[in-house]
Amino acid sequence: MAVTIRDVAKQLHVSITTVSRALDGYDDVAEATRARVIRASREMGYVPSRAARELRRKRAEAIGFILPTSQPRFADPFFAEFIAGLGDEAATRHFDLLVSSAPPNHVTERTAYERWVQSRRVDGIVLTWMRRNDWRVRHLAKEHFPFVAFGHPRGAIEVPSIGVDGAAGMRSLVAHLVERGHQRIAFVAASPDLGFQAERYRGYRDGLAAANIALDESFTAEGDLTRTGGYQAGKRLLALPNRPTAIIGVNDLTAIGVMRAASEIGLRVGSELAVAGFDGIEDTAHTDPPLTTLNQPVYDIARQAVGMLLKIIEGEALSEPHVLLQPELIIRQSTAG
């Protein structure tokens, strides 16, 4: 079996208490003793058992994240980056990251969250893709379970969150398009239940209003955040009698789908149709033509989210419970015409 604290203590002829305290950096242990303990531990390959420590400390030293897998074949590059950020920040703080997945609002989602909460498998949870009247928020708040949200859920409950100003981003994007001479600007949306959809859409409408352009309801189509959804919505919009000259996707994948719809009917993106997205995923730099987008620093956001979560877990007050970052408008050839 693995070497335990008792083995180290026996070897050194000290008590297990001493070993424990020496290793955890308490200051009431003689430096000489500490040095001996540390050396012996390393030599003997002693690493404290996580399970025992958890049991005693009542802390899992882990945080959880549940992927909102909307699709059977799920592969949003956004989440690879997000998870890398979560994992890196957690690791530097000596926490582990548990990842699971569940389709949003599906029954299995509920069990997934409850399992972690009830069994204290994790000390806190990171939420993303916030929804209107999100049951996860209600549930976690009721259980007094630490969590932090990426995105700002609207609702009665106070939620520590970090988000990107989707409305402001969209306003600046619309302004950019108007400046390029566009008046007929369409929007491919996502489910209205999604918080960032509402926010970005609001920015789109406000942007139009600011330019004195009347909102044309037929210029809003709904996708599902995937390329395929964007493609289908794009086809519908481009089949309109008086079709738009610019189309904004609620996210980059959607916009990429729109580009394909355009090129399929021989429309040149950039000169004959402007297309733009939101997220700033790496793909956008490599589409043909490169895609204008609103970049959000996903990796850093993830790290910051973990930082906030750990503070909450430690019981510290957050100096800033609602961090709001500005997305960066990256203008590329897809809106160059």
Partner DNA sequence: TTGTAGGCGTTATCAA
Partner DNA sequence: TTGATAACGCCTACAA
Structure tokens at 92: 């530097």
First-to-last alpha carbon distance for the chain, in angstroms, is 69
Structure tokens at 48: 């404290």
Residue 79 CB, nearest approach to a copy of itself (Å)? 5
Structure tokens at 69: 């897998």
What are the respective helix, strand and coil percentages of the chain, to the nearest 5?
45, 15, 35
Interaction of residue 112 with a copy of itself, rule CB under 8 A: yes
Neighbours of 214 (CB within 10 A): 7
Q: Return the one option of DNA, a copy of itself, none that residue 115 interacts with (CB less than 5 to 8 A, by type).
A: a copy of itself
Q: Return the one option of DNA, a copy of itself, none that residue 30 interacts with (CB less than 5 to 8 A, by type).
A: DNA
3-state secondary structure of 308: helix
- Which is nearer to DNA, 53 or 93 (by Cβ)? 53
DSSP 103-150: -TTSHHHHHHHHHHHHTT--SEEEE-S-BTT-HHHHHHHHTT--EEEE
Interaction of residue 303 with a copy of itself, rule CB under 8 A: no
Strands 185-189 and 220-222: parallel
Q: List the one residue from 11, 44, 48, 216 that touches DNA (CB under 7 A).
A: 48
- Which alpha helices (H) appear in 180-277, and where do they start and end? 195-210, 227-238, 252-264
Residue 96 CB, nearest approach to a copy of itself (Å)? 5
Q: Is the peptide bond before 77 cis (omega within 30 degrees of 0)?
A: no
Residue 32 CA, distance from chain mean position: 46
Phi, psi of 65 (to 5 degrees): -145, 130
- Only one of the segments 28-36, 160-168, 232-240, 270-278 lies at the binding site for DNA (rule: CB under 7 A); that segment is 28-36
Interaction of residue 42 with a copy of itself, rule CB under 8 A: no
- Which is nearer to DNA, 31 or 217 (by Cβ)? 31
Residue 117 CA, distance from chain mean position: 20
Interaction of residue 265 with a copy of itself, rule CB under 8 A: no
What binding mask, one character per residue, do residues 51-80 give for DNA by CB under 7 A, x or -? -xx-xxxx----------------------
- Which is nearer to DNA, 26 or 135 (by Cβ)? 26
Residue 27 CB, nearest approach to DNA (Å)? 7
Interaction of residue 328 with a copy of itself, rule CB under 8 A: no
**Footprint on this chain of a copy of itself (rule: CB under 8 A):** 2, 45, 47-52, 54-55, 58, 60, 62, 67, 69, 72-81, 83-84, 87-88, 90-91, 96-101, 112, 115, 118-121, 226-227, 231, 256-257, 259-260, 263, 281-283, 285-288, 298-299
**Footprint on this chain of DNA (rule: CB under 7 A):** 1-2, 4-6, 13-18, 20-21, 23-24, 27-33, 46-49, 52-53, 55-58
